[in-house]
Chains A and B, each alone.
Chain A
Amino acid sequence: MSKKTYPVDYKSLAEIGEFVAQAAKKTGFKGNELYKIETAVDEACSNIIEHAYHGGADEKIVINVKPLPDRITIQISDFGLPFDLNNANKPDVKASLDERENHGLGIYFIKEWMDLVDYKTRNGINTLTLVKFLKD
């Protein structure tokens, strides 16, 4: 298990992506599968930065990565307002240009591109767990 803490700032996204990508590479992920993991983590962290905090103390994102022989587990924790991904509406990706909504794609990417997605809030800590299995 490897852990890093980042400031709640969009500028953290590139570094977070690098940190997770390194762990995923160690697990054996590459190419588009690696890209999918980076996307899911970026979307989750962007969401936290945009919605979870409205000024105040303890504004940080904690990333835990756990590379295993057959999978990678990534835990993303924040201490702000909870945002349950399970209640998010699925965007209509077949809608015409005029009918396109300007939001909702990020969570859709997370759900589509990760194998397991779990969200829990406990003692003021929101933890999103993302798991992706290596394919043979």
Chain B
Amino acid sequence: MEIKTDYHKRCAVVKVAGRIDSATAPHLQVELTKIMDENIYNLVLHLSDVTFISSAGLRVLITTQKTVKKNRGDLALAMIPENILAALDLAGFTNLFNIFDDEVSAVGSF
């Protein structure tokens, strides 16, 4: 898994590539926590290059969403591959996140 964070004026965009499983999900949580520790609670997770997400990855998403919402922020999801969307849908996550077809729209939502 690779993570790259870009800071914009109103939000941070975190681009993840590869597998988000039990081995790698903790790294993603560390990166997101690091950003939130800087008092940035508007986040975009760019998922176009994610090949796999397990429940460990979904736990990171839900934990982060809970934290940012408490701080009047939001975790938006952008460019979700079909398989990943199927997992989010089965988990009932599609109602809990704002989902965007492209990164620009996600960034523009803040």
Contact = CB atoms under 8 A, between A and B. Distances in A.
Contacts of B99: none
Given A35-B86, A93-B91, A13 B59 contact: no
Chain A residues touching B, majority SS: helix
Interface stretch (B8-16, B38-46, B62-70): B62-70
A93 B86 contact: no
B63 A42 contact: no
Contact of A46 (B56, B63, B86): B56
A94 B94 CA distance: 10
Contacts of A50: 22
Interface residues on A, range: 20 to 34
B36 interface: no
Contacts of A93: 90-92
Given A42-B54, A102-B63, A10 B23 contact: yes
Interface stretch (A74-82, A104-112, A119-127): A104-112
A54 interface: no
Contacts of A108: 90-91
A94 to B, nearest CB: 6
Contacts of B3: none
Contacts of B96: 96-97, 100
Interface string B69-89: 100000000000011001100
Interface in A6-54: 10-11, 13-14, 17, 31-32, 35-36, 38-39, 42-43, 46, 49-50
B55 A106 contact: yes
A20 to B, nearest CB: 12
Contacts of B69: 97
Contact of A102 (B59, B90, B91): B59
Contact of A43 (B19, B54, B63, B82): B54
B23 A14 contact: yes
Given A46-B22, A97-B96, A38 B52 contact: yes
